[in-house]
Amino acid sequence: MYKLVALDIDGTLLDKNRNISPNTAQTLRAVSKLSDVVLISSRMPSAMRYIQKDCGISDSPLVAYNGGLVLQNDQMLSSTGIDVDIFESILSLNKDLNLHLSLFHSDQWYAPIDDFWSQREIRNTRVNPVFRSNDSVFENWKSENKNPHKIMCMGDELKVDEYFERLSKTLENELHLYRSKSTYIEIAPKKISKLSGLEVLLKNIFPKYSMQDIIAYGDNYNDIEMLQNVGMGVAVANAKAEVKAVAQEITDSNKDDGVAKHLQKIFGLKF
């Protein structure tokens, strides 16, 4: 029996409407009585808490920003942001491209303008940003000693391709660059990952657990390291081919409640 269940959200746990299905909610409520359940995502904390509530795990820790921020209720267990010099370079490389760069720190989200991209993220995450220019946020955060936990680039695919190439050439050793879609780049510090987030949890919250006590679910490139290093890594059917290649098992897609079905089998649940 696994002692900890680690769940990616987008593309893994949520259905086609980006909701928790009734079957998944019921399953996770039952599993949480048998094992600890943790959400682990590139999302900001406030975009995860309503999902925790839907699943009956509001008191569980969460791993936000791909491991950049680890929280137990309101207590910060770990925080790793993008260094100010790197942050400035990221903004500079976008000056002529003028792509949408959303900036995230803890539960703060600053979007440069109210456009198609910000509205899409509002719908997806149920969180509203503050609209403020990237340069203004940079100056404020620099004076306040705040570093972004994540920067989300969104825009025209060809421009995003160009920006990805620039970032890769210039800052590859400093940053994780995730292409969740052809029109997106998720930018995070190189030194964090979902695996490092789990390591923080084992050290601070679950010291009697080991990586072998964890079953984890994912679908995208940023889940690979986590799935490779836990007791059982499970990919949903809609996962990237590279993710399926490292998974020990593959379940149905997120649209078909794949996580719920697999957990029901693993924990012997029948409803």
Residue 182: phi, psi to the nearest 5? -65, -20
Cα(126)–Cα(1) distance, integer angstroms: 34
DSSP 222: G
* pLDDT for position 240: 95
User: What pLDDT is stored for residue 1 in this prediction?
Assistant: 86
- Among 72, 82, 135, smallest CA distance to 105 is for 82
pLDDT of residue 181: 86
Per DSSP, 213 falls in state G
Can you point out the beta strands (E) in 13-125? 36-40, 62-64, 69-72, 75-79, 100-105, 108-111
Given this model, what pLDDT does residue 74 score?
80
- What pLDDT sits at residue 80? 97
> Are the beta carbons of 32 and 57 closer than 8 angstroms?
yes
Rounded Cα distance, 163 and 186, in Å: 12
Q: Which residues of 88-107 are buried (b: 16+ CB within 10 A; e: fewer)?
A: ebbbebbeebebbbbbbbbe
Identity of residue 252: D
Domain with CATH 3.30.1240.10 in the chain: 84-189
Angle between helical axes of 22-31 and 258-266 (0-180°, round to 10)? 30
Q: In what order do the strands lie in the sheet with 249-251?
A: 75-79, 69-72, 62-64, 36-40, 4-7, 214-218, 232-236, 249-251
Tell me the CATH number for domain 4-79+192-266. Answer: 3.40.50.1000
* CA dihedral for 205, 211, 215, 219, sign (positive or negative): positive
pLDDT at 271: 82
pLDDT recorded at residue 225: 96
- The list of the chain residues with pLDDT below 70 reads none
In this predicted structure, what is the pLDDT of residue 186? 94
pLDDT, residue 7, reads 98
Residues ≥6 apart with Cβ < 8 Å to 51: 9, 13, 14, 20, 39
Can you name the CATH fold of 84-189? Answer: 3.30.1240
Please list the residue range(s) of the chain that carry CATH number 3.40.50.1000.
4-79+192-266
Sequence letter at residue 131: F
Dist CA 221 CA 176 (whole Å): 11
